[in-house]
Amino acid sequence: MIIPCIDLMNGVVVQLVQGREKALEAGEASDMLNRFAAFACIQVIDLDAAMDKGSNESIIANLATRRGIRVGGGVRTVEKAQRLTALGVEKVILGTACFNAGGVHHQFLAQLAAAIPPAKILIALDSKKGRIVVQGWRESLKIGAADVIRELEPYCSGFLCTYVDKEGMMQGTDLEWFRKLREMTAHEITAAGGITTYDEVRALLEMKVHAALGMAIYTGRMDLARLAAMEAVH
């Protein structure tokens, strides 16, 4: 599955480089939703919430009434995850709250699983220099995605794995990292971060990994019609 991304900051769609430097603005989220009509699933990330600088929940609520979306960014409580599912969000993405100083935050995840079916949960394994990063990618843990992916399986239906080292840089991604993770779990895996070429997208789809695309679409490096055709084949 090819998943176009809508990243929200201050009420508009943006693209960042490595989650920090804003590279471009792309206008209203509703307009992007229309542009992505050919795709079955859209990923929406609330960057303001992820960075503890606000919320774009009203926009997300509107998008959820129109399309199937998966939403992440600043979802750090069971209550917020419940609120998003109540809005009609198909899957909720959580990252920071799933971890603590010792690794996997089993107490929180057990509470989450009791409140929301794991089928509606995706866990973010965003990684930089081989380590999971949290708190809007500002804090690095001592563990890597491969260390905990199996331990997290009971709490979710899949993983969003962002290769932060190349996020937004248009320099390609690390296919071998995704292949390693794919071999470790039967759960859904969505790859993000640096995916730049059609060959990379094709390679991910062939290894049964979803491709979440942002910068390559917004800069025109990849054509939406061609991507839709690729998705139809796979």
By annotation, the residues acting in catalysis are: 7, 126
Q: Which of 6, 42, 43, 44 is nearest to 26 (CA)?
A: 6
